[in-house]
Structure formats: structure tokens, C-alpha cells
A and B are shown apart, each in its own frame.
Chain A
Amino acid sequence: GEDVEQSLFLSVREGDSSVINCTYTDSSSTYLYWYKQEPGAGLQLLTYIFSNMDMKQDQRLTVLLNKKDKHLSLRIADTQTGDSAIYFCAESITGGSYIPTFGRGTSLIVHP
């Protein structure tokens, strides 16, 4: 079955790196996504990674995928106050409708 787990909160100092972690249970996961939600807004797609990749980098964002441990992480370099938001991990699986299953979201708090 599908299940996506994330820790609920992460607090970092401005300028430090943030690492948001996610675990999933379905080994047939095909695409794994990271979305960002600012207060009172919809979800914004940040990045995604295909399951045959180990890493993907896009400017300050680095996604690491460990398929053996079913672990996905999002690293934000040089974290800024504007990065404060809820970050959702999501997976879509082969053979299903491909509608993503979302985690509960990690609230990232960036303090000066």
C-alpha cells in the first residue's frame, strides 16, 4: 500500500541548509515530488525525481533518493526567510491511476 511519512516541523537559522526528509512504503513508486505551500495558498511544484535517478539539483534545491531505504530528502541551501512554508512530499506509483499520495507536510520555520 501507499504511505508517505514526514516529520511535522523543522526549524533552521537563516543562511543554514535545511534538510527535509520523507519516507515512502511502495517500492513501485515511479515519480516522487516536492511541493511548497505558503500560508493560505495552494501548492507549488518545486521539483520531482524519477525513480531511476539518485539525485537531482536545481539551483538551491537538491533532491536525494535512496531507493533501498525508500527515503527521499530535499536540501535547501542558504535557507532564507522566504523559504518558510510547508513542504509536501508525494509519490505516484506504477500501475495505478498515478494520482499522487501526499505526506502530511513539514513546516519549515526559518529564524534570523
Chain B
Amino acid sequence: DGGITQSPKYLFRKEGQNVTLSCEQNLNHDAMYWYRQDPGQGLRLIYYSQIVNDFQKGDIAEGYSVSREKKESFPLTVTSAQKNPTAFYLCASSIRTGDLTDTQYFGPGTRLTVL
């Protein structure tokens, strides 16, 4: 089955620690995205990548970092510099950006709680 997987589903972190969220896709999509979702808020774009070894900041990139060493994988690191990291994190992928017909497909999400 083709799809997007995120792990872990739940993650707990102590203040001051970095943590990495995993996102893998086997859809052969070029583009991948990370969003943050807070209660009552829409999705806010953290980072996106259109191609391997390239990525761009979204609207709320501060305190986060990413890498794109493989087409299938786009891990997100939440650093200790992120002031309010407790949230639901969603990964998405699409065939490519910059195309009228491009549609995003989402993973199941990771809920991060900072203790």
C-alpha cells in the first residue's frame, strides 16, 4: 500500500531537549511538507521541500530544522529554541509543487507534548 507514515504517534519531551519526528512516503512524490496544528487553528507551514537536498522555510520555521537526504524521507527536528513546541505535527507530500493540479496527501500526525 502506498502512503505516508509518521512516527511516533505520541512523543513526550522534556524542556531543553531536541526531538526528531519521522516522515516517510512511498508514493514517489517529489515534494514534502511539515505543518503544525494547534487547537482551533488552521495548519501552519513550517518547512517544505520540492526536491532532494533542497528545502525552504514556511511561515513558522523558527525553532525547527529539516533535512531531505532521500526522496522518501523528510524528518523534522524540533529544537530547544522552539518556545512553544507542544502541538500536533502533520507531514504531507505531493507529486510536485508549482503545478496547478498538485494535491497534498497527509500522514496520520505526531502529537508532541513538552513536559
Interface residues of A (CB under 8 A from B): 4, 8, 30-31, 33, 35, 40-45, 48, 88, 92, 94, 97-100, 102-105
Apart from A43-B90, A98-B98, A98-B100, what 20 extra A-B contacts exist at CB < 8 Å? A8-B40, A30-B100, A31-B101, A33-B103, A35-B106, A40-B111, A42-B4, A42-B6, A42-B108, A42-B109, A43-B92, A45-B103, A45-B105, A48-B103, A88-B42, A98-B99, A99-B33, A99-B45, A99-B48, A99-B97
B106: chain A residues within 8 A (beta carbon):
35, 42-44
| Pairwise interchain contact B42-A4, C-beta atoms closer than 8 A | yes
Docked CA distance A103–B44 (Å):
10
B41: chain A residues within 8 A (beta carbon):
104
Q: How many residues of chain B have a CB within 8 Å of chain A?
A: 25
